[in-house]
A and B are shown apart, each in its own frame.
Chain A
Amino acid sequence: MAALLDVRDLGIAFPAPNGMVKVVDRVSWRLDAGQTLGIVGESGSGKSLTGLALLRLLPATARLDPASRIRYRDSDLLDLSEADMRSRRGSGLAMIFQEPMASLHPLLTVGRQVVESIRRHTDCSNGEARLKAAALFDEAGLPDPGRIGRRYPHELSGGQQQRVMIAMALAGSPDILVADEPTTALDTTVQAQILDLLRSLQAMRGLAMVFISHDLAVVTSMAHKIMVLRSGQVVESGSTGAVLSAPESAYTQGLVAARRRLGVRTQATVPSRVMEPECALELRDLCVDYPGRGPFAQPVRAVERASLTLSAGRALGLVGESGSGKSTIGKAIVGLARPTSGELTLFGRPLADDGWRLSRSMRRRCQIVLQNPYGALNPRLTIEQALIEPFVTLGLNPPNGRRSRIVAGLEEVGLDAGFLDRFPHQLSGGQRQRVCIARALMSEPGLLICDEIVSALDASIQFQVLDLLNRMRAARGLALLFIGHDLEVIRYIADDIAVMHRGTIVERACADDVLDAPQHPHSRALIAAMPRLDDAAPSEPDDGWRAQHRSA
């Protein structure tokens, strides 16, 4: 039986100062009707470009290997004229993207965007197209499908935006849906809903799907077959069950192991060095408001009566979805947000006494690492210049001189003096985050707040950063407030967990209790939505695909 989509020797390269750089190298696979192929890989693996190449939407500078073939039904997509290819886009192959907010036109109503897609592919009047759009919105599980079309993208939630994208992709009744990290930007519970929607749509419509993600657990829950990409090359492919149970390449084994290891607690790593551990942080009924938009708008309450304690050497995981107020708590502690009421005590000193401002000595003891390592370092300063900043602004004078302290700090986070003269753009994301951690640790703080510090990093790098933090904690008795949305990550590092929902802390207990026996309904929902490796993969008879592609 001929496959629906047959990709052979797909190669993509970009021109660089010294010759072409291959980013996808001779990748081949087949996709049958109704099947899902999962493409897994870390950033730079070429997985997204592979998806874009299917619709011929690669950036203008990309060059295709002349040997590449993408056979869809009875034609090679790469041989088609641009006009013929346009008629396949949306009706033969459709695509949804990572960031639904950025993928929808911000100034057009969502209804108009879907109607446009319908009218492109079917011959119908505007009124008919509107009815069809409402039906699609309904199918995509959007509330009030008859009227939601009048809304603009910014008026919808992230999950709703992605549902609109899905409705739009379905408008041309495609055979194949290419989903490029469709849930990466979404909260875990929303992710689970979108994945459910995609699965049911696939079953109802007999869609074939190419599902691209960095998250092995998500992919395995969706795909019949998996292809693992690394640096543009296929390192492993086969049916999902086979790849998971017996990964052949060391890289895949590492990925699977990392994922499984994340799921395990590592509590024993931290000895309690102090008999009576000092209380590093205490919140009591803390409330934080943000000013509303406009001169007369009511302030918006971000945190509502939050109470927490954290003692030296302990790690507290603060979990919640976006907008739950978890980052605001972190900001309030380091003085980036001003509490409205309540008590915030750092190392026994109530912050309210100082007008909610951290004194210089308190700043030394209390530091934060921010989420985005790409933005947290000034692109115009070298690593050395960036690391000198805390000495200047906090007035630190280490005994052996600043430079030796900086080198020691870099070594502590697994980097060396060779990085001193580099600029941030010459570093990878993981290296930048290490520099940020080193910068925050320069003043030897007793409390470190980590605001989603690993969510922008690849899974294998996440792991290294988390281990690094655990080592610091053990070595210095550092108190860690670890803010995040990924329960697997939190489970790996935290002794205790606090779950936040709409500004309030709904549950707070030791990590195992929260994860194994969640009390609050929201905690239960969060845990249920967690993608797991052992989720039963969609079963599909092994059709020799694996053997065939091993040899390729």
Chain B
Amino acid sequence: MVTLLATVLIHIARAALLVFGVTVLVFILVRAIPGDAVDVLAIEGGLTESQAEAMRAGLGLTASWLDQFTAWCLGALRGELGESLRFHVPVADLLLQAIPVTLALGAASLATGFVLAVAVALIATLRPRSMVASLVDILNIWSIAIPTFCAGLVAILVFSLWLGWLPVLGNFLVPVIILGLDAAGQIVKPLHEEMKELGTAVYIRTARAKGLHPLKIVVGHILPAAAPVLLAMTGLVAASFIGGALTMEVLFGLPGVGSLAFNAVNGRDYPLIQAVVLFLAVAVILINALTDLAQRLVDPRPEG
């Protein structure tokens, strides 16, 4: 029990270190970007040189990087992520508005992809020569070959502009389907390969020697054995969605974290970039930790 607690504590400490490291990394990278938010505003709004300087001082951009960083960290620890340089509202508010959109998009797409991948892999394992079995490769090739933003563009073109079925912007269903197919394609291939390989495992031969029905063997024996791979792939895809949803959000005009990040980077909106990156890093680390935990739950064997 003590060792378990210690292990958990070590994991948490590692995660915290990771978050901190990412924050530092991004802080430096962002400051390395030529030009700052005031430059961007200056170009857009025609500020004079002295106005711009005054603005920089007001926003705390003239302080040294270290001071800026300390100030930001202290704020973040109090839960204050600062104010957007461009929109002049607290960054936390912007983030809180955007997170539900991204979460809904990600969760719906991931669920679609997960269900589709499991169903196709199951049927393909059960009936290797059926039409469904070829779906494994079709889905996989689709996910590699058709970039989601290409599929998104074509979908907008066909459904919205030519057929007039859907409103061009703000639509939710099309990105979910596109991302879902993408997720399914990424998950289904490794899952099916694993299940195929497990089909030749000695303990599956034992299950056959018991006289079990093939369906029962595939669902009750092969799928649980493949669960670690399924979870690992789902975790990877989930983590990639955090960034992958970005293009979909921009393309379909969904006001999620991706759109926010895009605007923030383009506008050199430092506090917003910092906050978005902090959120994304925490999300990725959380997803990795959850994947790890789920894998431990399905596989009781000690590591190594």
The chain A residues found within 8 Å of chain B, CB to CB, are 55, 57, 86-91, 94-95, 97, 99, 102-108, 116-117, 120-121, 152, 154, 165, 168-169, 171-172, 293-297
Residue from A89, A294, A296 within 8 A of B211 (CB atoms): A89
Q: Count B interface residues, CB 8 Å.
A: 29
The chain B residues found within 8 Å of chain A, CB to CB, are 2-3, 6-7, 10, 201-203, 205-213, 220-221, 224-225, 227, 298-304
Closest to B208 in A: A57
Contacts of A121 in B (CB 8 A): 211
Bound Cα distance A94, B208 (Å): 10
Bound Cα distance A294, B303 (Å): 9
Contacts of B210 in A (CB 8 A): 89-90, 94, 116-117, 120, 168, 171-172
B201 touches A102 (CB 8 A): yes
Contacts of B300 in A (CB 8 A): 107, 152, 154
B211 touches A86 (CB 8 A): yes
A293 touches B208 (CB 8 A): no
11 further A-B pairs in the complex, CB-CB below 8 A; given A89-B209, A106-B203: A57-B208, A86-B212, A90-B209, A97-B202, A104-B203, A108-B221, A108-B224, A120-B211, A154-B301, A172-B210, A293-B304
B209 touches A294 (CB 8 A): no
A296 touches B3 (CB 8 A): yes
22 A–B pairs (Cβ distance < 8 Å), ordered by A: A57-B208, A86-B212, A89-B210, A90-B209, A94-B210, A95-B209, A97-B205, A97-B206, A99-B202, A102-B203, A103-B206, A105-B207, A106-B301, A116-B210, A116-B220, A120-B211, A154-B300, A171-B210, A293-B304, A296-B2, A296-B3, A297-B3
Residue from A91, A117, A296 within 8 A of B6 (CB atoms): A296
Residue from A108, A172, A294 within 8 A of B3 (CB atoms): A294
Bound Cα distance A120, B207 (Å): 11
Count of inter-chain pairs, beta carbons less than 8 A: 87
Q: Given A86-B211, A87-B211: A105 and B3 within 8 A (CB)?
A: no
Bound Cα distance A82, B221 (Å): 19
Contacts of B302 in A (CB 8 A): 154, 293
Q: Given A116-B210, A154-B300, A172-B211: A102 and B224 within 8 A (CB)?
A: no
Contacts of B3 in A (CB 8 A): 294-297
A492: min CB distance to chain B, Å: 32
B244: min CB distance to chain A, Å: 31
Contacts of A89 in B (CB 8 A): 208-211
Bound Cα distance A55, B213 (Å): 14
A-B pairs, 4 with minimum CB distance? A89-B211, A90-B211, A102-B202, A95-B209
B219: min CB distance to chain A, Å: 12
A324: min CB distance to chain B, Å: 21
Closest to A88 in B: B211
Contacts of A169 in B (CB 8 A): 209
Closest to A91 in B: B211
A210: min CB distance to chain B, Å: 13
Bound Cα distance A296, B3 (Å): 6
Contacts of B206 in A (CB 8 A): 95, 97, 103-105, 165, 168
Contacts of B202 in A (CB 8 A): 97, 99, 102-103
